[in-house]
A and B are shown apart, each in its own frame.
Chain A
Amino acid sequence: GQQVMQIPQYQHVQEGEDFTTYCNSSTTLSNIQWYKQRPGGHPVFLIQLVKSGEVKKQKRLTFQFGEAKKNSSLHITATQTTDVGTYFCAGDNYGQNFVFGPGTRLSVLP
Chain B
Amino acid sequence: GAVVSQHPSWVICKSGTSVKIECRSLDFQATTMFWYRQFPKQSLMLMATSNEGSKATYEQGVEKDKFLINHASLTLSTLTVTSAHPEDSSFYICSARRNDRGYEQYFGPGTRLTVT
Contact of A102 among B42, B104, B106 (CB under 8 A): B42
Do A88 and B107 touch (CB < 8 A)?
no
Residues on B with C-beta less than 8 A from A33 are 103-105
Docked pose: A42 CA to B105 CA in angstroms = 12
How many of chain A's residues touch chain B, expressed as a range?
10 to 19
A42-B109, A42-B110, A43-B93 given as contacts; is B46 within 8 A of A100 (CB)? Answer: yes
* Contact status B43-A42, CB under 8 Å: no
A100 and B44 within 8 A (CB): yes
**CB-CB < 8 A to A22: which residues of B?**
none
A2 CB to closest chain B CB, in angstroms?
Answer: 11
Find out whether the CB atom of A45 lies under 8 angstroms from the CB atom of B43. no
A103 to B36, CA, bound (A): 15
Given contacts A42-B93, A42-B109, A43-B93, contact A31 B46 (CB under 8 A): no
A13 on the interface (CB 8 Å rule)? Answer: no
B30-69 with Cβ < 8 A to chain A: 34, 36, 41-46, 60
B32 to chain A, nearest CB (A): 11
Within 8 A of B (CB), among A42-61: 42-45, 48
A-B residue pairs, 4 tightest by C-beta: A42-B107, A102-B43, A100-B44, A100-B43
New contact pairs (10) apart from A31-B103, A42-B110, CB-CB < 8 Å: A1-B60, A41-B109, A42-B109, A43-B44, A48-B103, A88-B44, A100-B43, A100-B44, A102-B42, A102-B43
Q: Identify the A interface with B (CB < 8 A).
A: 1, 31, 33, 35, 41-45, 48, 88, 92, 98-103, 105
